[in-house]
Amino acid sequence: MRTVALPSGERVPTFGMGTWYMGEDPARRADEIATLQLGLDLGATLIDTAEMYGDGRAEEVVAAAIEGRRDSVFLVSKVYPHNATRRGAIAACERSLKRLGTDRLDLYLLHWRGSVPLAETMEAFAALRAAGKIRHYGVSNQDRNDLEELWALPGGSEIQTDQVLFNLTRRGVEWELLPWLRERHIPVMAYSPIEQGRLVRNQKLAAFARRHGMAPAQAALAWLLKDDDVIVIPKSGHPDRLRENLGAAEIRLSPEQLRELDGLFTPPSRATPLEML
């Protein structure tokens, strides 16, 4: 499994697993746990979750999947913006830890920016880190202007990632957010990398994938994985789909294939506000 260094120096796999919508249907729970466990077996040891997902039930699915193997997992969770106050973030983190059945998170992210001042959230994150409840912190859905503001705050330059919407049909981040992060050696975490499944059904991508002997989801993920500093976190609750998605980690798209994809999914030609789902 390819890895990337976080600013802290720690290396994490560039292929992780998302968990949005897990834990919402009891009939799917066993498959979801089995899929996450298969991913861990195959080296996708980064799991992304959030207190928001299924009102905490996704974190409970993750707890079941990582039981007995916590130390080999890089566990990421996120705090709601309305909980991201000095005291609220600490309480929210304690609740997440309890649901996850662990004593620490590897990375704790501000899910998106709300009305709580960023400085307050940074203070809470620093306190959580000092207490050993989180090892690192970062942000999600922050555009370049938010990051610049954050950077000027105490602790703001210690963020380990910005988790943002990034896939073949959402390329706006390439214009200025990615270069900004790259200058600072901060890997980006691409969420909804297959556009919540819509890219699998995209006719242009399906035809490209057919021409080149890969599955559409693999083409979408391999495109993101062309750069070594992008972490993808596709979600699937099906072992067979996870295996298919993981195949993308073995694919290196050629310059010709990348040019073909640029023709099908146009790169940005100007700055646009960061999109989010």
Closer CB to ligand NAP, residue 9 or residue 226?
A: 226
State in angstroms the smallest separation of the CB of 70 from ligand NAP: 19
State in angstroms the smallest separation of the CB of 79 from ligand NAP: 11
Contact between 159 and 8 (Cβ < 8 Å): no
Nearest one of 185, 201, 245, 213 to 4, comparing CA atoms: 185
State in angstroms the smallest separation of the CB of 265 from ligand NAP: 15
Closer CB to ligand NAP, residue 39 or residue 234?
A: 234
Closer CB to ligand NAP, residue 146 or residue 244?
A: 244
Q: Which residue is nearest to ligand NAP (CB)?
A: 18
Which letter, b or e, does each residue of 130-167 get, where b requires 16 or more Cβ atoms within 10 Å of its Cβ?
eeebbbbbbbbbbbbebbeebeeeebbebbbbbbbbbb
State in angstroms the smallest separation of the CB of 277 from ligand NAP: 5
How many C-beta atoms surround the C-beta of residue 99 within 10 A?
Answer: 20
Closer CB to ligand NAP, residue 77 or residue 270?
A: 77
Active site residues per annotation? 53
Amino acid making up residue 165:
L
> Can you name the residues that pair with 77 across neighbouring β-strands?
108
State in angstroms the smallest separation of the CB of 189 from ligand NAP: 8
Closer CB to ligand NAP, residue 128 or residue 217?
A: 217
Count how many Cα atoms sit within 13 Å of the Cα of residue 198 in the half-sphere of its side chain: 7
Per CB under 6 A, residues contacting ligand NAP are 18-20, 48, 111, 140-141, 163, 191-197, 200, 217, 233-238, 241, 244-245, 276-277
- CA distances to 197, 211, 229, 255, 260 from 207, rounded to whole Å, are 16, 6, 27, 18, 11
For residue 16, what is the enclosing H or E element? strand 16-17
Q: How far apart are CA 171 and CA 247, in angstroms?
A: 23
